[in-house]
């Protein structure tokens, strides 16, 4: 056997040996992982065998996805791939859509329609939609309106004046994801939220305490602080905002590792339902929640739709019923309601009322170690005087916690003002 043939046989042997080793490693690799922390998405699970799935080909397609998601050392390989892709001169092909969507967090008066279209290469001025879909991420766009922002500040001032000097009033405006993307071409579809928040804060009376949630979120923007398929921040994003509040309110922020962590994988948020991108729907989010380190009891109050009678039921700060449901963001407080009263065994006599949209839901669990009682008011549904609520329960602190788009909606501001008449 000549030297050339020997080298050929050696190459064949090495090739077969490597395939054998990789096969063994894949067989031995654990298959019970459900979440990719690198990609922030739910991994495909082993498909259930059935004759119908076998004949249709679905079983093998699903098994292929399962195998790809559980390949040996996959997480490290994905990290390496992302590092290479981020090198200068290597660009991914972008999938971009602008989508009109009439389903914002708080509701408004504007008719956005339901058109879907691709933006032009130059994104300047092309704001026909109010959702931007960039690859596997859906983001709301923000348009600064000075007159509306001034009305929002005036609303907070009016409530503060009605409550009196003895009540401390905080305002936290949560920024949305598009503010922090690196792609300037698409970022410019949205107005500066930093400037908008600054404008609102500058129009507060001297009694209002403005909470900076923007800076701590920006400092951690490379972490999983926003969902990709939903317009809300994640509980981690809410936690970083809470650290900003803790500084202003004189609290020592509780370390995140003091909370028991839970997960609800496979979450496709509400705004993902209007998108034309398969990349979004094929990469669901993982809802991570943190159980408070104190004992909590929660009572939820609502109004009977037929009689208008005020009724109540026992709620939960972390409602694990939603872990197995589609609306997994409901794990935080159980969703939206007119009024919720949370009582804790925290070593504190302080009481706070939070006037909020649904961004507040993921935030409020982090308040539980600091307050004896927390009153959660959603002005879109509550019908009674918040002034009386504060006075009757000796509440010393009130926080407005809403996301930035709330400053554009008259309906939300009018709802709040109706509660102080």
Strand order of the β-sheet with 351-356 is 208-211, 168-174, 397-403, 351-356, 373-377, 339-344, 296-303, 310-315
pLDDT band at 170 (very low <50, low <70, confident <90, very high): very high
pLDDT number for residue 79: 59
Interatomic CA distance for residues 338 and 231, integer angstroms: 21
Q: Count Cβ neighbours within 10 Å for each residue of 20-39 and write b for 16 or more, e otherwise.
A: eeeeeeeeeeeeeeeebeeb
Task: Tell me the per-residue pLDDT of 145-168, one tens digit each, with 9 for 90 and over.
Answer: 999 999 999 999 999 999 999 999
Percent of the chain whose predicted confidence (pLDDT) is above 90: 62
Most confident of 30-39, 129-138, 394-403: 394-403
pLDDT band at 89 (very low <50, low <70, confident <90, very high): very low
pLDDT of 50 strictly over 80: no
Task: Tell me the per-residue pLDDT of 225-255, one tens digit each, with 9 for 90 and over.
Answer: 999 999 999 999 999 999 999 999 999 999 9
pLDDT number for residue 166: 96
Percent of the chain whose predicted confidence (pLDDT) is above 70: 75
pLDDT number for residue 220: 98
pLDDT of 28 strictly over 70: no
Query: Among 65-74, 133-142, 191-200, 361-370, where is mean pLDDT lowest?
Result: 65-74
Burial group, residue 319, by CB count within 10 angstroms (0-12, 13-18, 19+): middle
Q: What is the mean pLDDT of residues 40-62?
A: 66
Token pair, residue 69, equals 């998601």
* Domain assignments of the chain as residue spans, ordered by start: 3-85, 144-417
Distance (Å) of CA 28 to CA 70, 73, 245, 305, 392: 11, 11, 47, 56, 63
Most confident of 97-106, 179-188, 290-299: 290-299
Task: Tell me the per-residue pLDDT of 131-151, one tens digit each, with 9 for 90 and over.
Answer: 898 988 999 999 999 999 999
Token pair, residue 402, equals 């809403």
Task: Tell me the per-residue pLDDT of 317-337, one tens digit each, with 9 for 90 and over.
Answer: 999 999 999 999 999 999 999
Average pLDDT, the chain: 84
Q: What is the mean pLDDT of residues 359-379?
A: 99
pLDDT band at 125 (very low <50, low <70, confident <90, very high): very low
pLDDT number for residue 77: 64
**Are 401 and 356 spatial neighbours (Cβ–Cβ below 8 Å)?**
yes
Place of tokens 């709330």: 406
pLDDT of 110 strictly over 70: no
Query: Among 26-30, 125-129, 189-193, where is mean pLDDT lowest?
Result: 125-129
pLDDT of 88 strictly over 50: no
pLDDT of 16 strictly over 70: yes
Element (H, E) at 277: none
Report DSSP state, residue 118.
P
């Amino acid at each position: 056997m000549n030297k050339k043939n020997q080298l050929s046989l050696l190459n064949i042997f090495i090739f077969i040996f490597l395939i054998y080793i990789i096969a063994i490693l894949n067989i031995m690799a654990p298959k019970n992982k459900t979440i990719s922390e690198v990609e922030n998405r739910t991994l495909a699970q082993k498909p259930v065998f059935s004759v119908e799935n076998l004949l249709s080909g679905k079983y093998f397609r699903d098994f292929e996805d399962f195998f790809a998601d559980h390949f040996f050392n996959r997480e490290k390989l994905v990290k390496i791939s992302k590092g290479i892709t981020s090198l200068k001169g290597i660009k991914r092909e972008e999938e971009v859509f602008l989508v009109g969507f009439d389903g914002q967090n708080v509701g408004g008066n504007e008719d956005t329609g339901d058109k879907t279209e691709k933006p032009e290469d130059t994104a300047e001025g092309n704001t026909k939609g109010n959702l931007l879909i960039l690859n596997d991420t859906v983001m709301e766009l923000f348009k600064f309106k000075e007159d509306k922002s001034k009305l929002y500040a005036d609303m907070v001032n009016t409530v503060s004046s009605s409550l009196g000097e003895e009540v401390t009033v905080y305002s936290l405006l949560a920024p949305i994801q598009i503010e922090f993307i690196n792609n300037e071409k698409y970022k410019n579809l949205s107005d500066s939220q930093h400037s908008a928040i600054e404008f609102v804060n500058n129009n507060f009376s001297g009694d209002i305490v403005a909470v900076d949630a923007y800076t701590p979120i920006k400092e951690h923007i490379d972490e999983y602080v926003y969902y990709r398929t939903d317009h809300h921040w994640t509980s981690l994003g809410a936690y970083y905002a809470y650290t900003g509040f803790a500084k202003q309110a004189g609290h020592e922020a509780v370390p995140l590792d003091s909370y028991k962590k839970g997960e609800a994988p496979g979450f496709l948020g509400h705004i993902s339902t209007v998108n034309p991108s398969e990349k979004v729907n094929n990469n669901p989010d993982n809802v991570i929640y943190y159980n408070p380190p104190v004992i909590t009891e929660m009572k939820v109050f609502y109004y009977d739709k037929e009689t208008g009678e005020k009724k109540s039921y026992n709620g939960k700060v972390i409602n694990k019923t939603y872990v197995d449901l589609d609306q997994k963001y409901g794990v935080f407080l159980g969703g939206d309601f007119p009024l919720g009263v949370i009582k804790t065994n925290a070593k504190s006599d302080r009481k706070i009322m939070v006037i909020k949209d649904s961004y507040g839901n993921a935030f409020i669990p982090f308040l539980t170690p600091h307050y004896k009682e927390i009153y959660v008011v959603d002005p879109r549904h509550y019908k009674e005087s918040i002034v009386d609520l504060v006075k009757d329960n000796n509440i010393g602190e009130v926080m407005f916690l809403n996301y930035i788009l709330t400053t554009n909606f008259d309906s939300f501001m009018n709802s709040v003002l109706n509660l102080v008449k």
